[in-house]
Structures are given as C-alpha cells and as structure tokens.
C-alpha cells in the first residue's frame, strides 16, 4: 500500500525546513521521515530503521496500530473537540478504566495534553491542597517546559532564561553507577544519600514544603531506576514534613517498565498522592492525565481548584487513551514487556561482556540503557565513541537515542514499543553488535586473528 509521502522531494523539504523552521533544543535528524508503521520508521530515501525510542518514548503499542487508527478515524468524524466544561463518553470511559487500574488512593482523574502540562497541574494542585509552595525534585529529572514543571526540573533547560518559580530544591538523583555515597563494602548507600539531601533542604526551606516530584526511572537523567525501597523512604520523608508525593510516569507508565505503573514495582504498598501520565497513554497523540485521591479531589472541588485549558478532557485523545489501556490489559502487555525485558537485558549484558566501552547496563522491562565510557575503572565518559556508535547503528537500520547532556555521560536510551516481538528485539541486538564491532573506540574484549570474520555469540 502506498504511503502518504511516498513521492516526497527530500532536497526541497530540507531546503524548506532550513528556511522556515525554528530550532528548539535538538539537532534535527539528517533524514526526512515520511512513513512509520508497526515498529519501523522510514526515510524519504527508503532507509528503514527499527524504532527503539517509540517515537519520543510515546508509541507504546507501535506506529499506525490498526485499532488506534480506527478509533481516531471514528472520533475525528463524530466527536473530536468540545467546550472544556462538557463531558463526553470517551472521557468518562477513560477515567473509569484508568482508576480501575490504579491502587486505592488514586481515585479520580482529569486529562490534559502534554507531560509538562500534567506535571504543571500536579504541582499546582499540591500547592493548592497543602497551602504551601516549595517543591522538591531530583537533580537529574525531566518534568516539562512549563513554568512550574521546569522549575522542578534539573536535567537541563535552566540556564539562560532568568529566574524560575521560587521555592524549588533538588535532591541528589539516585545513580548507583556514579554516586559517591557508598557502604564500606563499596555498595551504593542511597539511604544516606537521600537523608543527607533532605537535611540540606530542611536548612534551606522557609517551612513551606509542599511536594516531591520524581520519576520511578530517570529516563532523560540516564535510565536510572529508583533503588528498591527508595519510594517508601521518600514517602516517609514526605509524611514527616506534611508534603505530598508526586510520581511522574510519562515514560514508565502503562506497562513500559514491566508493571502497569512503575511505582508499584517494589510491592511495598507505597502509593503517591498524585500520579501523572502522558506519552505512553496516548500512543503518540497529545494526552496526559492527573490522578489523585478522593480526599484531595474533594478538597479541590470544594475550594474551586482551577486548571482550565482549551483541551482539558478532549474526547478524541481520551478515546485513544481508553483504547490504549484496553489493548494493554487485554493483551497482557505489561507482562510481555517484563519478559521481553529479560531478553533485552541479557543481550545488552552480552554486549557489555564483549565491548569495554560499555560501563553499565540498567533499567527494567522495555526501558533500558547502556552507558558508554572511555575507561571502566575511572568511568570517564566517551561521548565521541557513543556518537560514532549511534551513527553507525542508524546506518545499519536501528534508531536508538544517545543522551549526551552534562548530567550524565553518553547513555543509549532503549524503549521499543511493548508490542515488539522477540525476533525484532534480536534484530536490534544484532545491529548493535555489528555497530560496536565496526566502530573505532568500542574496545573489543575478544581477539580476531588476521582476516578472520567476527563470530557473534548467539543472542
């Protein structure tokens, strides 16, 4: 079947892009992407790449999913956008389905467009409910580009724009690979690190601590999962100070990391006061959610909490989110992600055993990362090596993002659609093996004699 842009003139498009598009914080990919289907994306040249970032970590169940396409088509024709105070069946259905999946204490939801917007609303709700204004984040976090969200974000985007919203503090982000907080045996002492972080915040606070906002896996911060027990300990710190706990599951939610919601992974019953979802909920469409307790929801209603936007509770994206949840539950995709994650991790650990530039492998489910270093002992970053590997991976037919911002060294962030097959995972791993083998600086840990062809162990 022909696709929409099969006759695209790449040279003209590149010229038009250069003359008319404003840049916004990233280099544009050198190819013009004209088609996406399933787990693959296609350039105007015909170059095909297996998509291991799910778009912008969003196409949870693949590009052009037929059920999603059908849902969009039907609702675009009959129920697309309404006055913000009107209710529609898709919005009610999504709210009911979502809150049937969340633990007790996450009882009521409303729906917005982007992750930044949902985090902005969550922070605003926390301030409104507690009547306090100070927000604590992790120092390698990413929560969005709106005023309150970016003030609680420390990954990047703070320099050069003047003062942020006052009253924001940073905790050290958990980083088992690089943290200086260690037990005598060398293992990671995250508890002391967390306690020390709060001791510094207590000295800076004016006594108005409202909430902590965290990602269960710091994706932009280098694919670092929170250590087991961390959320429970964080909850205790919040309770001691009368703070709310907000979990931002833009990337980790809806089965991506092997659990329907990543905050449940430890199984210790820790439930946030506010949960935000985005990216994965809309499978690439702009849809986000704020979910909170009956108690907070009642207070918000009685005291006229306001977060009123043009696209609040829009029916078309809500219908898509409802269908995404239906598919993930019906097809048991959280468990599928968990099982495929074991294969992915084994493949990445196999690569680490063969190439000295891979310093660390981490993550859960189909949300994992590998950190590229120049030396495993010193852990010195090897950004140029990572760039070369990333370029070669793309040439060979795999799209995977390399993060190189200052908060961490080069980390490949891997997040394929959770509808991926075992065969597609192995295809991607084989491409990565070839790219590492062919890239100068990857530091092979095996010997290849003379002209002997590299023999790859089975993945």
Helices and strands in the chain, H and E counts: 13, 17
Are 447 and 409 in contact by the 8 Å Cβ rule? The answer is no
Which entry of 120, 248, 259, 273 is annotated as an active-site residue?
248
Selection from 277, 308, 278, 288 nearest residue 83 by Cα: 308
For this structure, is 323 an active site residue?
A: no
Structure tokens given for 111: 């729906």
From 124, 155, 256, 413, active-site residue: 413
pLDDT, position 26 = 82
240 is known as an active-site residue? no
| C-alpha–C-alpha distance, residues 162 and 100, integer Å | 43
Which of 3.30.470.10, 3.40.50.720, 3.40.640.10, 3.30.70.260 is the CATH number of 66-330? 3.40.640.10
Q: At what angle do helices 230-241 and 190-204 cross, to 10 degrees?
A: 20
Q: Is 142 tagged catalytic? A: yes
Within 8 A by CB and 6+ apart from 177, the residues are 224, 359, 360, 362, 371, 379
Question: Among residues 215, 249, 314, 322, which one is catalytic?
Answer: 215
Helix (H) or strand (E) holding 130: helix 115-130
Q: What is the pLDDT of residue 154?
A: 87
**Buried b / exposed e across 428-441, counting CB within 10 Å, b at 16+?**
bbbbbbbbbbebeb
251 among known catalytic residues: yes
Catalytic residue among 153, 251, 352, 368: 251
Catalytic residue status for 153: no
- Residue 438 among the catalytic residues: no
Domain ranges within the chain, ordered by starting residue: 10-64+333-438, 66-330
Annotated active-site residue in 142, 323, 362, 371 = 142
Q: How far is Cα 201 from Cα 204, in angstroms, rounded to an integer?
A: 5
pLDDT in tens for each of the 459 residues of the chain? 678 998 889 999 999 999 999 998 888 999 999 999 999 999 999 999 999 999 999 999 999 999 999 999 999 999 999 999 999 999 999 999 999 999 999 999 999 999 999 999 999 999 999 999 999 999 999 999 888 998 888 877 788 888 999 999 999 999 999 999 999 999 999 999 999 999 999 999 999 999 999 999 999 899 999 999 999 999 999 999 999 999 999 999 999 999 999 999 999 999 999 999 999 999 999 999 999 999 999 999 999 999 999 999 999 999 999 999 999 999 999 999 999 999 999 999 999 999 999 999 999 999 999 999 999 999 999 999 999 999 999 999 999 987 655 545 689 999 999 999 999 999 999 999 999 999 999 999 997 654 444 444 434
- Residue 366 phi/psi, 5-degree rounding, is -95, 50
User: Which option is the CATH number for 10-64+333-438: 3.90.1150.10, 3.40.640.10, 3.30.479.30, 3.40.50.720?
Assistant: 3.90.1150.10
Q: For the chain, how many residues are written?
A: 459
3-state secondary structure (DSSP) of residue 321: helix
Q: How far apart are CA 275 and CA 115, in angstroms?
A: 11
Q: What pLDDT score was predicted for residue 25? A: 82
Q: What pLDDT shows up at residue 457?
A: 41
- pLDDT at position 158, please? 82
Among residues 132, 235, 241, 279, the one annotated as catalytic is 279
């Amino acid at each position: 079947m022909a696709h929409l842009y099969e006759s695209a003139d790449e040279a003209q498009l590149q010229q038009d892009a250069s003359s008319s598009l404003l840049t916004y914080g990233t280099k544009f990919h050198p190819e013009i992407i004209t088609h996406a289907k399933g787990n693959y994306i296609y350039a105007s040249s015909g170059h095909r790449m297996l998509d291991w970032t799910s778009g912008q970590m969003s196409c949870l169940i693949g590009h052009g999913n037929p059920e999603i396409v059908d849902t969009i088509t039907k609702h675009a024709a009959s129920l697309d956008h309404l006055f913000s105070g009107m209710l529609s069946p898709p919005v009610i259905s999504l709210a009911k389905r979502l809150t049937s999946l969340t633990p007790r204490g996450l009882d009521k939801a409303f729906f917005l467009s982007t992750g930044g917007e949902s985090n902005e609303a969550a922070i605003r709700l926390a301030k409104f409910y507690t009547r306090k204004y100070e927000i604590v984040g992790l120092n390698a976090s990413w929560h969005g580009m709106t005023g309150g969200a970016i003030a609680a974000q420390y990954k990047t985007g703070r320099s050069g724009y003047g003062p942020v919203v006052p009253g924001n503090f940073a905790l050290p982000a958990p980083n088992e690979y690089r943290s200086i907080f260690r037990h005598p045996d060398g293992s990671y002492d995250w508890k002391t690190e967390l306690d020390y972080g709060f001791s510094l915040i207590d000295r800076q606070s004016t006594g108005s601590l409202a909430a902590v906002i965290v990602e269960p896996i710091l994706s932009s911060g280098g694919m670092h999962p929170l250590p087991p027990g961390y959320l429970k300990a964080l909850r205790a710190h919040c309770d001691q100070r009368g703070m709310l706990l907000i979990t931002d599951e833009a990337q980790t939610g809806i089965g991506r990391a092997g659990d329907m919601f990543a905050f449940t992974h430890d199984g210790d019953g820790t439930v946030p006061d506010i949960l935000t979802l985005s990216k994965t909920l809309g499978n690439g469409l702009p849809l986000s959610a704020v979910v909170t307790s009956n108690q907070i929801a009642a207070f918000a209603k009685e005291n006229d909490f306001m977060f009123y936007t043009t696209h609040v509770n829009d029916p078309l994206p809500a219908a898509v989110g409802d269908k995404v949840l239906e598919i993930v539950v019906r097809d048991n995709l959280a468990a599928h992600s968990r099982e495929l994650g074991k294969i992915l991790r084994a493949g990445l650990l196999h690569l680490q055993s063969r190439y000295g530039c891979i310093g660390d492998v981490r993550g859960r489910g189909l949300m994992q990362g590998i950190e590229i270093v120049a030396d495993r002992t010193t852990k010195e970053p090897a950004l140029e090596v990572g760039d070369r590997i990333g370029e070669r991976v793309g040439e060979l037919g795999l799209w995977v993002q390399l993060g190189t911002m200052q908060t961490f060294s080069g980390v490949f962030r891997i997040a394929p659609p959770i509808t991926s097959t075992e065969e597609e995972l192995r295809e991607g791993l084989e491409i990565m093996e070839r790219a590492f083998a062919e890239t100068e600086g990857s530091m092979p840990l095996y010997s290849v004699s003379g002209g002997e062809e590299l023999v790859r162990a089975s993945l």
